[in-house]
Structure formats: structure tokens, C-alpha cells
Amino acid sequence: MTTYELMVVVSSSVDLTGDKSQKDLVAKLVGEGGNVKEVTSLGKKTLAYPIKKQEEATYLVAVVEGTVKSADLDRKAKLMPEILRFLLTVKE
């Protein structure tokens, strides 16, 4: 099984107070191909430039195991208005 690290930039208007809601959001983005092991919030940060008229965003870092396709993530992220950006990397 491949282990991935997924960084997600989420709109600051979304309430991500609990661990379950953070994990649910990432699991919804990843879909059935991956298993979300851990989600860490890096907190709310000011963006260097506005993205979709947002000045601030919450950064989440997730560890995902399984088979995750970047094209599927891109398609799902475009359908979810709360996701501003994401970055998927293979974790060694």
C-alpha cells in the first residue's frame, strides 16, 4: 500500500472545530480509494494572495493510505466549494 501526504487549503468560512469534521472533509475528498489515517490542522493563516475572494484559509495535513489518483482528487476538489487548493505527495 502506498502512503500519501495530502495538504488541503480550506475556506475559513467552513467550521472545522472537531477532529471528526476535519477527517470527514478529507475522507470525502479522497473517496473510497484511500484510507485517512491522520489529519492535523495547521491552523488559520493569511493567504499571500486572494483565492476565490478569500483572504484567510485553514490548512490541513492528512496521511492517507491506499490508491489515490490525483485526477480524481482534482475533479472532486472542483465540486467542493470549501476546498481552495490541495497538494498530494507520496510519503516515504
Whole-model pTM: value is 0.89
pLDDT (tens digit per residue) in 50-65: 999 999 999 999 999 9
Q: How confident is the model at residue 90 (pLDDT cuts 50, 70, 90)?
A: very high
Give residue 80's pLDDT band: very low, low, confident or very high (50, 70, 90). very high
Domains annotated for the chain, with CATH where assigned, are 2-90 (3.30.70.60)
Residue 33 has a CB neighbour count (10 Å cut-off) of: 12
Interval 16-46: pLDDT, tens = 877 678 999 999 999 888 899 999 999 999 9
Pairing of β 83-90 and β 34-51: unpaired
Between the alpha carbon of residue 60 and those of residues 12, 14, 45, 71, 83, the distances in Å are 12, 12, 11, 20, 11
Q: pLDDT at position 70, please?
A: 83
